[in-house]
Amino acid sequence: MPEPTFTSRFTSRRGLLFGTAAVSAGALLTGCTSNDPKDEEPAANDRPAADDKPGKQVTIGFAGPQADHGWLNAINDNAKSRAKKYSDVTLEITEGSNDTAQQIGQIETLINKKVDVLVVLPADGKALTQVGLKAMRAGIPVVNLDRIFNTPQAYRCWIGGDNYGMGLNAGHYIGEKLKGKADARVIELAGLDNLELTKQRTQGFDDALKNYPNIKKVARQAAEFTVESGQAKMAQLLQAQPRFDALWNHDDDQGVGALRAIEQAGRDDFLMVGGAGALSAFQAIKQDNGVLKATVLYPPTMAASAIDLARALGQGKGVGGLAEYEIPASITLYSAVVDKENVDQYMSTGFR
């Protein structure tokens, strides 16, 4: 999963949430659609922007990390698909790299090409701050996607997910499900512990559980956001914890492995909540024949919204639906809980 290197200063700006069930910030940039789960809704990157009439031609440079994870691959797909919707947008996309020096070089190439706007999901926000500053000083506005630069001077707009909110909403969902159960026990399968996002997700989860005195977290294991690590670490948790009532898994990719371990152990005596919004998780939730009952979104559709924002910047426009002439300085996406009641609404946004 991605690593938004939030600081405590920026985390306090989490209050800028647009819509209690928004799939992405694209909701601000799109026309109205029905909220009835029975209605067929196009994927967020298929929905036309409110101002989708052709305007000034805009060249957008897109630089992201290597797509070595389902979520990151979905980020690239969302950006490409969204750009294709606009006849007035040309997308210059880099190969993507987890090597910071290589990604800096790719972004400098885009700066030298004099693109109109940059959309950057940095492999490391701190390490790439200087190249963000370089672009801004060259007069190229930057849309900083998800993993945040160290200073707001390095970007014109930040858009990304809410890791604390993921944990908070996962905790409240589990809390409500176990509200009437005495001595309820929960466990947590986290992501990489050296990432700030993992700490924020755990903090949100723990804060939510404080509202449910009948629930105790009895175990926590950190995995590595891979299928293999999810399976191995979940097997350890199952062996160490013969009885528990709920599991929160931070990431749907590692959740594939966790579900394998659960099936191999023959366990079905608890409920599981995932994280991010993978298609496989949505399908399992819809089938409702296993332990996975919900997942908390960290929507990769943010990349489609970043293209909308970059286009608006390049054309000197604001955001449809807001009174201001300028686009916001930051947009924090809402971590909606998807369960069997609303999964059809989100199915088209699931990533592989």
Specify the CATH number for the domain of residue 188.
3.40.50.2300
Q: What is the pLDDT of residues 113-148, one digit of tens each?
A: 999 999 999 989 999 999 999 999 999 999 999 999
Q: What is the pLDDT of residue 167?
A: 98
Q: Do 321 and 233 lie in a common domain? A: no
176 and 112 inside one domain: no
Is 12 among the domain residues? no
Q: Does the pLDDT of residue 47 top 70, yes or no?
A: no
Report how far apart, in Å, the C-alpha atoms of 95 and of each of 23, 70, 78 are: 27, 16, 15
pLDDT at 21 over 60: no
Instruction: Answer yes or no: do 190 and 112 share one domain.
Output: no
Asked whether residue 269 is assigned to any structural domain, the reply reads yes
Instruction: Please give the Cα distance from 147 to 348 (Å, whole number).
Output: 25
Rounded to whole angstroms, how far apart are CA atoms 227 and 296? 18
Tell whether the torsion through CA atoms of 115, 145, 337 and 271 is positive or negative.
positive
Cβ-based neighbours of 112, under 8 Å, separated by 6 or more: none
At 3, the pLDDT band (50, 70, 90 cuts) reads: very low
The sheet carrying 184-190 orders its strands as 215-222, 184-190, 246-249, 271-276, 292-297, 337-339
290 token code pair? 């296993």
| Total count of domains within the chain | 2
pLDDT, mean of residues 194-210? 95
What is the DSSP code (8-state) at residue 12? Answer: G
Shared domain check, 208 and 115: no
Task: Give the other-Cβ count within 10 Å of 347's Cβ.
Answer: 18
Distance of alpha carbon 274 from alpha carbon 257, whole angstroms: 12
Q: Classify residue 346: in a domain, yes or no.
A: no
Q: Has residue 215 been placed in a domain?
A: yes
Check whether 14 has a pLDDT greater than 60: no
Mean pLDDT of 47-63: 81
Over 60: is that where the pLDDT of 2 sits? no
Residue 284 has pLDDT above 50, yes or no: yes
Q: How many helices (H) and strands (E) does the chain have?
A: 11, 12
Could you tell me the pLDDT band of residue 61, with boundaries at 50, 70 and 90? very high
Mean pLDDT on 13-35: 34
Among 32-46, 226-240, 270-284, 333-347, name the one with the lowest average pLDDT.
Answer: 32-46
- 8 found inside a domain: no
Q: Is 134 helix (H, G, I), strand (E, B) or coil?
A: helix
Whole-prediction pTM value? 0.82
Q: Specify whether 126 is located in the same domain as 175.
A: no
What does the pLDDT read at residue 69? Answer: 79
Query: Is the pLDDT confidence value at 245 over 50?
Result: yes
Work out the pLDDT band at 350, boundaries 50, 70, 90.
very high
Nearest alpha carbon to residue 75 among 276, 298, 303, 253: 303
27, 143: one domain: yes
Do the domain assignments include residue 4?
no
Q: Do 153 and 24 fall into the same domain?
A: yes
Residue 235 inside a domain? The answer is yes
pLDDT band at 286 (very low <50, low <70, confident <90, very high): very high
- Residue 11 confidence (pLDDT) above 90: no
Does position 315 have pLDDT exceeding 90, yes or no?
yes
> Closest by alpha carbon to 126, among 14, 7, 13?
7
At residue 262, the pLDDT reads 98
- Alpha-carbon distances of 195 from 6, 325, 349, rounded to whole Å: 10, 36, 26
Q: Reply yes or no on whether the pLDDT at 8 is more than 50.
A: no
Overall average pLDDT of the 319-333 stretch: 93
324 shares a domain with 310: yes
Q: What pLDDT was estimated at residue 319?
A: 87
The chain-wide mean pLDDT, for the chain, equals 87
Sign of the alpha-carbon torsion through 262, 271, 300, 347 = positive
Coil vs helix vs strand at 340? coil
Q: Give the confidence band of 65 by pLDDT, cuts at 50, 70, 90.
A: confident
Q: Are residues 155 and 212 in the same domain?
A: no
User: For residues 7 and 295, which has the higher predicted lDDT (pLDDT)?
Assistant: 295
CA-closest candidate to residue 202, choices 178, 179, 226, 219: 219
- Single-letter amino acid, residue 119: V
Which pLDDT does position 194 carry in this prediction? 87
Structure tokens at 174: 């589990």
- In contact, 186 and 218? CB cutoff 8 Å: yes
- Closest listed residue to residue 337, CA positions, set 185, 168, 200: 168
> Six-digit token pair at 69?
């994870």
- Residue 1 in this model has a pLDDT that exceeds 80: no
User: Are the C-beta atoms of residues 230 and 273 closer than 8 Å to each other?
Assistant: no
Q: What local confidence, expressed as pLDDT, does residue 43 receive?
A: 53
Residues 155 and 206 in one domain: no
138 lies in which domain range? 18-161+299-333
Band of the pLDDT at 66, cuts 50, 70, 90? confident
| Average pLDDT for 29-46 | 41
Residue type, 183: D
| Domain's final residue, options 248, 273, 297 | 297
d(CA 172, CA 215) in angstroms, rounded, equals 11
Percent of the chain, pLDDT > 70? Answer: 86
- pLDDT score at 46: 57
Q: What is the pLDDT of residue 40?
A: 40
Question: How many other C-beta atoms are found inside a 10 Å radius of the C-beta of residue 333?
Answer: 27
| Top-confidence residue, 208 or 25 | 208
Whether 176 is covered by a domain: the verdict is yes
Same domain, 304 and 157: yes
Are residues 291 and 311 both part of a single domain? no
